[in-house]
Structure 1
Amino acid sequence: MLDETDKRLLAALQKNAHLTAQELGEALNLSPSQAGRRRQRLEAEGIITAYAAKLDPTRLGLRVQAFVQVQLATHGPEQSRSFARLVATQPAIISAWTLTGDADYLLRVYCDDLPALNRLIHEVLLPHPAVARVQSQIVMDQFKQDAPLPT
């Protein structure tokens, strides 16, 4: 179970994963060794799964963000596995979810430009034998950035 100190530690690390044990201890009113042990325990328990840098997509030339809904024509386990393997090979697809409702999958995509998005849809996704329909929504503006998880 997470106590309030664990939750505050997780919130602090989501804002800045580079905090040292000293800095965490100061923020949590703990000694650096206590803060470090708590972090290590949360890592060992799999609550903290990784540390990563957040990158600015526009500075990387990724000017188009889109959400792509995919509906499969057939829903067997092999078709699902085959589609998942295809998604895993595409760096432009940064996350994917299975859904209830009309669409079977929702893909979050970053592309250099609209022609790159068009190629992804028409040359990669639609030719897959299990895919029946693809619908995309291009992001006009992201007014709330990806937020930390609530703790």
Structure 2
Amino acid sequence: MPKPDIDEIDRKILAALQADAHMTTEKLSEIVGLSPSPCARRVRMLEAAGVIKAYVAVVDQVKVGLPISVFASIKLERQREEELDRFASAVMRWPEIVECYLMTGQRDYLLRIVVKDLEAYETFLKQKLTRLEGVASIESSFALGQIKNAQALPIPT
């Protein structure tokens, strides 16, 4: 799919919706300087183009009982397409993994895993991650605190 042309008004729409996706079309149109109909049309076009992928509620992981974030670096035995696809498929099935990146460098994947406690991580590790065929090594690092978690992208205006 070709990259959509995003103009200054689209950028304002995106920035405003990243700050508050729950705002009304009327409020959004005031912010970006359009009347409600053209503003709504632009939002629908951004959605159709896949620029706006979804609308979600950002949930506080501590308040829902998942205070532990673990970053796991994964090295596969081989980096053939079959092994990469198998790993990616497994990651998609496991809700504990909230982020997964295919990496360059010494490790093949970087995962962010959220759990309620160390015992839950140990269970996840033993019953899921270490049982996955093709995993050569796993290095886990535990976050002591979160300094920044920006949900919004820095859209240039």
Query: Per the shorter chain, which TM-score range?
Result: over 0.9
Q: Which residue of 2 aligns with 1:31?
A: 35
- Runs of 4+ more than 4 Å apart: none
Output the amino acid matched with 1:14. Answer: Q
1:50 CA displacement? 0.8
Say which is worse superposed, 78-87 or 88-97, in terms of deviation: 78-87
SS of the counterpart of 1:14?
Answer: helix
1:147 CA displacement? 3.4
2:74 is aligned with 1:53? no
Output the amino acid matched with 2:135. Answer: V
Output the amino acid matched with 2:43. Answer: R
2:140 is aligned with 1:115? no
Q: Which residue of 2 aligns with 1:71?
A: 75
Q: Which residue of 1 aligns with 2:143?
A: 139
The answer to whether the 8 A contact 1:121-1:134 is kept is no
TM-score normalised per structure 1:
0.94
Q: Which residue of 2 aligns with 1:80?
A: 84
Q: Which residue of 1 aligns with 2:97?
A: 93
1:125 CA displacement? 1.1
What value does the CA root-mean-square deviation take over the aligned residues?
A: 1.1
1:7 CA displacement? 0.5
Identity across matched positions, percent? 37
Quote the Cα distance in structure 1 between the aligned partners of 2:139 and 2:57.
30
Say how many residue pairs are matched.
Answer: 151
CA offsets 1:75-126 (integer angstroms, 9 cap, x no match): 2222222111211111100111110111100111100101111222232112
TM-score normalised per structure 2:
0.91
Structure 2: runs of 5+ lacking an equivalent: none
CA offsets 1:38-95 (integer angstroms, 9 cap, x no match): 1111111111111111011111100101111100112222222211121111110011
